[in-house]
Structure 1
Amino acid sequence: METIQRKAALLLCAVLAAGIGLPGCSTHSEHPGTYGTDTQEQEVTLKLYFPGDKKSAMGEVWSAVSSHVKEKGLNVKFDIRFIPLGDFKEKMLVMAASGDTWDMNFDGDWLSFNPMAAKGAYLALNELLPQYAPNLFARYQGQGTLGAASVNGQIVGLPWTIKMNQRQFAQWRSDLTEKAGINPAPGSLQTIEDVDQFLHQMKQAYPNERITRVGARAVYELRDEWVDLGFHHLGFYLHDPKVTVKAMEQQPFYKEAAAMTKKWYDDGIMNRDAMMDKEDGAAQWRNGKALFGWNSHEWIHANQGFSDPSYATQSSQLYPDRKFINRTPLANVVAINQNSRHPERVLRFLDMLETDKALYDLVQYGIEGKTYMIRNDRVVYPEGMKNTTSNYMEWGGQWALWKPQFMRANPAYDQDFWTKEAEFASLPNNVDSPVDGLFITEDNIKSFLVKRDQAIEEFDKPIIFGMVKDVDKAVGSYIELQKSNGLDPVIADVQRQIDAFLAAKK
């Protein structure tokens, strides 16, 4: 019904505007010029969706958020809803296709943002954003990140304002290696050969321990400056100015990585159950069930929350001379539903969040004394709570609302943590992707992609986990299978879209 009413309103607006030149015709509940000024406005409820599980104090906290913004002239209540992370992408796509009405939701390029944006599920904000969220708009202008969240020139998402890079570091349990007399110099593990030698030393020192569940492919990708498009195992090389699309399985590093991973599997370094293991990898690391892995600059400097305080780690940046793309601004996004009845108020709320530290504390940490405590200038969990039992802190989807200017030190991050992350991302070899903001559509190649994905699931997984008997034979057969599945038309269509995207940027 809302969709029908909205279309009717749009049609009426168009007729009136064409007939008598009526200015300011809008299908929304507010009009330009009311930003933060109308204290008599009618109360409305904003329905917001986030991924994860709803924390027990969520209702009480957001009631306090409502009271706070009402004092500032924004008369809203909040209906905060959660969808389990594993169901979030499909659920959002179904809701959008059904024409459901909500106001704002979390999203990201790793969830449903690309297909939702491509299908027109999100409201274009080019005019509304500077009008109703001028402070947030100025922040984006300074960062230059709105282009990544635009489709055909229309801003359809609001990216987080964090800048970071997730290039690979090797990380290991240094308390155990030091005990075994294995003491690599800081920063000395830089190549895959260095890592291979080190892992064999660890296995010799701890023959009965589970060393790692990660294969070698990520390191080879870094070595060769490969950029994964996040689209059905297609990518390109960062040093290629033409951005030529290629299939991952046909690249030399693919077979090299498969051979190295098989070596680790055969030598007992790679966990034998790695392909079937569904346990969270971070939990295994925190609980001492893994001794080695790849990690990012963020997590080698964060407090990883080990279950045993005696655990210690050391790390080394891999291939520091190679270029690596920064994390996209679309990693964490909030977007406004095309059918939202109150987009202006969503934007006013987000603008307040950009400038109001007390509001930020409420949204991110909750109510002091109930959901968080301040100890030594650091936000900590109340007594008896931790991340897995918290009644509010670390709620799912808060990442898109992180504001570096207000973030407090917490159990994981020091006060200046995100400043250092931004500095690291700004180093010369950490660069933005030339196709950041590209939305690749599948409309012309869906049938080919179904077959490609089936083959990835059936044949790529054993290769990536080192479980094939003959690497050369397995990789060769897999390449031929993907060719027969229609690789050429897939690459041609994706290349066409990339070429058009790059041409439009010039």
Structure 2
Amino acid sequence: MKKMRSKLPLLLAIVLMLSLVLSACSSGNDNGNSNGNSSGSETGNSTNAAKDDSGNAAADNTAKEQEEVTLKFYFGGDKKAATDEVWSAVSDYVKSKGLNVKFDINFIPFGDFKDKMLVMAASGDKWDMNFDGDWLSYKQMAAKGSYMALNDLLPKYAPNLYKKYQEQGTLAAATVNGQIVGLPWTMSMNQRKYAVWRVDLTDKAGITPAVDSIKTIEDLDAFLHQLKEAYPKDKLSRSTPLGIYMERDEWVDLGFHGMGFYLNDPDVKIQPVEQQPFYKEAALMAKKWYDDGIINRDAMIDKEDGAAQWRNGKMFYTDSSHEWVYANPGFADPSYKLSSSLLYPDKKYVNRTALANVMAINRNSEHADRVLQFLDMLETDKTLYDLVQYGIEGKTYVLDGETANYPEGMQTTTSNYMEWGGQWALWKPQFMRPNPAYGKDFWVKEAEFAALPVNVNSPVDGLFISEDNIKNEVAKRDQAIEEFHKPIEYGNAKDVDKAVADYIEKQKANGLDKIIAEAQKQIDEYLAAKK
């Protein structure tokens, strides 16, 4: 008994030491999670962190508890000179709020954006978040499963942003097969077409159409030939007439492989654009414009940003929207002036979808939780919003009251940060400042324009057509669009009648009937569910 008693303190000491070691190991695993997706990153969630006196997350401890990670983002357009410096400041700020991240910010020119994103996704590249839209690669990327499902992550790591989406009801538009795969913007607008021209040039040439006097394709054709006659040696435009014919006939482009429907069709029957009467009309007009030098000869292959060409005086005419008729386009030369005319003002036209500008998280991202925490901070923190959108005060923007202006000597074309491409999906109406492009209450007026009776919501807004059963057919259709449709649209076809007829037959042979049947089935199911 004496021997047993003498060993007892030693055994207790050993047990105590083992307990401490196990506890330390367990703690180390929680805080050292390298992928940022589980308990280690939860400690940095500002919604769960301790609060300081101002109500902000008490950052010093939470930032230390998180392992630093780098978030790789892709936006569209050209990278501006101060981008890395600004996002370094963004990193410093969010670290002070408890989010321990750095940023690797990349840009892809818009002319290459769609193809580059699809190639990167197919190659299994790793990045964290990218800009996208229904006019770029979003629908194809979502259809191919390239974007991460956020059903569980979004409410957990971005509760404020999730609440905003619930209030607006916009998440349905970004939901594919029950999975939320995109983060839509929260703006309201309509992009019905305006004819827009350099009025300083037309005045000089003695061409003086009144505002809103050009209403039809025939009016526009006559005006553009006058403009070309006045400036025969200059490049005039990259705009094709197809979209104007679509507006005339109230055709809705679904953004689904050249398919659409007519607004006056209560059954919403999907049809291929190439079989519509207006398609040949547009092709004949495009041929005329190409031959007469109204459409630039290199328009089909020109990858330079069209908006930049317009601002820099490289185009004399473009078709545009209410936004860029009433916003400041940021002309490189202050002597450049624009005038405009609303085309087919009595025709119905669908409002822009919530998918017009989207942020999406790559399915291969290892830091989706951190991305969502960052986006949630952006939803509630005006200081962070100013940093991300406008940059560093005094270096990339200056404040004139509440207005964010360019620093002295800068403008849109020479900006070192402001008006960077792809920022639109991160716009927050509650924080937006007036700026050189958009004056006070600009977006209120834009929403009022979208609310006019002739501007309507699409009956299938929010529908995402799954391509699982027609992958081969849509791949062939897309290839034919690139090979045969683009030359027709840009006026490069030598014999329009033959080119259109051949194109129609080509697409029929590519499995058009199967595509229509599958898409129509999903449209009918969507409409039935809405009743």
Q: How does 1:488-503 map to 2 (within 5 A)?
A: 488-503=513-528
1:145 pairs with 2:157: no
1:82 pairs with 2:106: yes
Q: Which moved more, 1:90-99 or 1:60-69?
A: 90-99
Q: Compared with structure 1, are the counterparts of its residues 160 and 46 closer, same or farther at alpha carbon in structure 2 (3 Å cutoff)? A: farther
Structure 2 CA distance, aligned partners of 1:289 and 1:156? 38
| SS in structure 1 of the partner of residue 237 of structure 2 | coil
Structure 2 CA distance, aligned partners of 1:221 and 1:322? 10
Q: Given that residues 74 and 130 in structure 2 are in contact (C-alpha distance below 8 angstroms), is that contact kept between their aligned partners in structure 1? A: yes
State which of 476, 481, 484 in structure 2 corresponds to 1:459: 484
Q: How does 1:332-481 map to 2 (within 5 A)?
A: 332-338=357-363, 340-375=365-400, 377-387=402-412, 389-481=414-506
Structure 2 CA distance, aligned partners of 1:320 and 1:493? 34
Q: Compared with structure 1, are the counterparts of its residues 209 and 394 closer, same or farther at alpha carbon in structure 2 (3 Å cutoff)? A: closer
Q: Which moved more, 1:214-223 or 1:461-470?
A: 461-470
Q: Given that residues 262 and 466 in structure 1 are in contact (C-alpha distance below 8 angstroms), is that contact kept between their aligned partners in structure 2? A: yes
The AA in structure 2 aligned to 1:78 is K
1:236 pairs with 2:261: yes
1:164 pairs with 2:160: no
Aligned-pair CA distance for 1:408? 1.8
Q: Compared with structure 1, are the counterparts of its residues 392 and 272 closer, same or farther at alpha carbon in structure 2 (3 Å cutoff)? A: closer
C-alpha distance after superposition, 1:329-381 (max 9, x if no partner):
11222233445555444333322222221111111112111222224653233
The AA in structure 1 aligned to 2:66 is E
Which residue in the other structure is 2:315 paired with?
Answer: 290
| SS in structure 2 of the partner of residue 374 of structure 1 | strand
Which residue in the other structure is 2:3 paired with?
Answer: none
| SS in structure 1 of the partner of residue 253 of structure 2 | strand
Q: Given that residues 82 and 417 in structure 2 are in contact (C-alpha distance below 8 angstroms), is that contact kept between their aligned partners in structure 1? A: yes
Which residue in the other structure is 1:22 paired with?
Answer: none
Q: Given that residues 135 and 351 in structure 1 are in contact (C-alpha distance below 8 angstroms), is that contact kept between their aligned partners in structure 2? A: yes
1:49 pairs with 2:73: yes
State which of 110, 125, 138 in structure 1 corresponds to 2:135: 110
Which residue in the other structure is 1:482 paired with?
Answer: 507
Q: Which moved more, 1:445-454 or 1:399-408?
A: 445-454
| SS in structure 1 of the partner of residue 42 of structure 2 | coil
Aligned-pair CA distance for 1:427? 1.7
The AA in structure 1 aligned to 2:516 is I
Q: TM-score, normalised by structure 2?
A: 0.81
Q: Given that residues 50 and 396 in structure 1 are in contact (C-alpha distance below 8 angstroms), is that contact kept between their aligned partners in structure 2? A: no
| SS in structure 1 of the partner of residue 255 of structure 2 | strand
Which residue in the other structure is 2:31 paired with?
Answer: none
Which residue in the other structure is 2:339 paired with?
Answer: 314
Q: Compared with structure 1, are the counterparts of its residues 297 and 102 closer, same or farther at alpha carbon in structure 2 (3 Å cutoff)? A: same
Structure 1 CA distance, aligned partners of 2:146 and 2:40? 16
Q: How does 1:50-65 map to 2 (within 5 A)?
A: 50-52=74-76, 54-65=79-90
| SS in structure 2 of the partner of residue 177 of structure 1 | helix
Structure 2 CA distance, aligned partners of 1:378 and 1:64? 21
Structure 1 CA distance, aligned partners of 2:128 and 2:306? 34
The AA in structure 1 aligned to 2:99 is N
The AA in structure 1 aligned to 2:471 is K
Unaligned runs of 5+ in 1: 1-24
State which of 219, 233, 250 in structure 2 corresponds to 1:225: 250
Aligned-pair CA distance for 1:285? 2.4
Q: Which moved more, 1:132-141 or 1:85-94?
A: 85-94
Report the count of equivalent residues: 481
| SS in structure 2 of the partner of residue 347 of structure 1 | helix
Aligned-pair CA distance for 1:312? 1.5
Structure 2 CA distance, aligned partners of 1:180 and 1:452? 45
Q: Given that residues 271 and 516 in structure 2 are in contact (C-alpha distance below 8 angstroms), is that contact kept between their aligned partners in structure 1? A: yes
Which residue in the other structure is 1:324 paired with?
Answer: 349
Asked which structure has the greater CA Rg, the reply is 2
| SS in structure 1 of the partner of residue 268 of structure 2 | coil
Q: Which moved more, 1:483-492 or 1:166-175?
A: 483-492
Q: Given that residues 93 and 116 in structure 1 are in contact (C-alpha distance below 8 angstroms), is that contact kept between their aligned partners in structure 2? A: yes
Q: Given that residues 397 and 418 in structure 2 are in contact (C-alpha distance below 8 angstroms), is that contact kept between their aligned partners in structure 1? A: yes
Q: Given that residues 46 and 346 in structure 1 are in contact (C-alpha distance below 8 angstroms), is that contact kept between their aligned partners in structure 2? A: no
Q: Given that residues 283 and 496 in structure 2 are in contact (C-alpha distance below 8 angstroms), is that contact kept between their aligned partners in structure 1? A: yes
Aligned-pair CA distance for 1:96? 5.3
C-alpha distance after superposition, 1:299-327 (max 9, x if no partner):
11122222332222111111111111222
Coordinate RMSD, CA, aligned? 3.1
| SS in structure 1 of the partner of residue 206 of structure 2 | coil
Q: Compared with structure 1, are the counterparts of its residues 458 and 370 closer, same or farther at alpha carbon in structure 2 (3 Å cutoff)? A: same
Q: Compared with structure 1, are the counterparts of its residues 480 and 119 closer, same or farther at alpha carbon in structure 2 (3 Å cutoff)? A: closer
Aligned-pair CA distance for 1:170? 0.6
The AA in structure 2 aligned to 1:270 is I
Structure 1 CA distance, aligned partners of 2:204 and 2:80? 41
Q: Which moved more, 1:63-72 or 1:145-154?
A: 63-72
Unaligned runs of 5+ in 2: 1-36, 51-57
Aligned-pair CA distance for 1:398? 2.1
Q: Compared with structure 1, are the counterparts of its residues 141 and 494 closer, same or farther at alpha carbon in structure 2 (3 Å cutoff)? A: same
Which residue in the other structure is 2:216 paired with?
Answer: 191
Aligned-pair CA distance for 1:253? 0.5
The AA in structure 1 aligned to 2:158 is A
Structure 2 CA distance, aligned partners of 1:97 and 1:459? 25
The AA in structure 1 aligned to 2:405 is V
Structure 1 CA distance, aligned partners of 2:430 and 2:463? 29
Q: Given that residues 99 and 374 in structure 2 are in contact (C-alpha distance below 8 angstroms), is that contact kept between their aligned partners in structure 1? A: no
Aligned-pair CA distance for 1:235? 1.3
Q: TM-score, normalised by structure 1?
A: 0.84
Q: Given that residues 407 and 415 in structure 1 are in contact (C-alpha distance below 8 angstroms), is that contact kept between their aligned partners in structure 2? A: no
Q: Compared with structure 1, are the counterparts of its residues 71 and 301 closer, same or farther at alpha carbon in structure 2 (3 Å cutoff)? A: same
Q: Compared with structure 1, are the counterparts of its residues 63 and 267 closer, same or farther at alpha carbon in structure 2 (3 Å cutoff)? A: closer
Q: Which moved more, 1:90-99 or 1:258-267?
A: 90-99
Q: Compared with structure 1, are the counterparts of its residues 175 and 385 closer, same or farther at alpha carbon in structure 2 (3 Å cutoff)? A: closer
Structure 2 CA distance, aligned partners of 1:292 and 1:94? 33
Aligned-pair CA distance for 1:265? 3.4
Q: Given that residues 354 and 403 in structure 1 are in contact (C-alpha distance below 8 angstroms), is that contact kept between their aligned partners in structure 2? A: yes
Q: Compared with structure 1, are the counterparts of its residues 418 and 51 closer, same or farther at alpha carbon in structure 2 (3 Å cutoff)? A: same
The AA in structure 2 aligned to 1:143 is Q
| SS in structure 2 of the partner of residue 294 of structure 1 | strand
1:203 pairs with 2:228: yes
| SS in structure 2 of the partner of residue 231 of structure 1 | coil
Which residue in the other structure is 2:47 paired with?
Answer: 35
Aligned-pair CA distance for 1:131? 4.5
Which residue in the other structure is 1:4 paired with?
Answer: none
Q: Compared with structure 1, are the counterparts of its residues 210 and 122 closer, same or farther at alpha carbon in structure 2 (3 Å cutoff)? A: closer
The AA in structure 2 aligned to 1:37 is A
